[in-house]
Amino acid sequence: MELNGLAAIVTGGASGLGGATARLLASLGAKVSIFDLNAEVGEATAAEIGGAFFKVDVTDDAAVTEAVAAAEARHNTARVLVNCAGIAPAARTVGREAVPHSLDLFRKAVEINLIGTFNVLSKVAARMTTVDPLGEERGVIINTASVAAFDGQIGQAAYAASKGGVVGLTLPIARELAQHGIRVVSIAPGLFLTPMMQGFPEHVQEALGKQVPFPNRLGRPEEYAMLVESIVRNPMLNGETIRLDGAIRMAPK
C-alpha cells in the first residue's frame, strides 16, 4: 500500500514511538491524525507535520467514536492505524512489608494498553470495511506490544500481561478481518529512547543500551517508524508480532 494521500491515525502520536511514526507517515504523503492526551505536544506535532490533533482517551468508548468520526471528516476514512498509546507501570506482585500489587494500577495498565488498543482498533476497522479496496487491500492496522510480552521482568506483571494481550489478539483479528482485505500486525519493541527512557540519567540510559547485543545501544523511535512503513508497504506481513529489539532477551531484573 502506498501512503501518499492516504489518511492515517496514530494513537500516542504526540511524541516517542508514535511521534516518530506520525512524522514519517506525513513525510511520505499521508494525512495524519494524532490521538493523544497531551494537547500541548500533540498540537505542536500536528502543526509541524501538517496533520490534525484530537485529544482522546483511548479507553473512552464515546470519545474514540467521536474522534474517529472527526478524523474521517477532516482527512477521509483512515487506511492506516498505528496504536502507540500506552503506559509502563512498574510494581511487584508482593511489595515491601507483604503489600500486594495495587489492583487499580494493574487494571489501569490493562485498560490503556490492551482495552484502549482494541477500542480504537475495532472502531477504525469498522470504518475501513466500508471503503473500496486499494488494489488487494483496504487497510493496515499496526499495534504496539513489547518484548515484555515474552520475557517480562520482575515488577512488570501488569505491563507484560497487557502487552501479552496485544500479542494474543493479533492473529485472531487478522484472521477475522482478512475477508475485508485488512491486515493486522503488532510490533514488540525492545529498549527504545522514548520520553520515559529520556527521564532516566544518562548513565542509566547507557547501561541499558549496552544490554542490547547489536546494535549495542537503545533503539531510536525513527527505527520503529521504519518498521511501520515496511509493514504498510508489504502485503504479506499479516497476523504476526515482530520483535524489534536488537536481539535482546530481557533478564529477570
Q: What H or E segment, with its residue span, contains residue 39?
A: helix 39-49
Grid cell locating 147: 518484548
Residue type present at position 224: Y
Q: What H or E segment, with its residue span, contains residue 35?
A: strand 31-36
Phi, psi of 144 (to 5 degrees): -110, 110
**Catalytic residue, candidates 35, 53, 106, 159:** 159
161 within 8 A of 89, measured Cβ to Cβ? no
Place of cell 482522546: 56
| DSSP structure class, residue 131 | S
- Distances from the Cα of 49 to the Cα of 20, 52, 88, 124, 214, angstroms: 11, 9, 27, 22, 32
- Our answer to whether residue 224 is catalytic in this structure is no
Report the candidate in 76, 81, 34, 64 with the shortest Cα–Cα distance to residue 183: 81
Torsion of CA 168, 190, 161, 12, to 10 degrees: -80
Bridge partners of 244, per DSSP, are 189
191 within 8 A of 218, measured Cβ to Cβ? yes
Q: Which residues are identified as catalytic?
A: 159
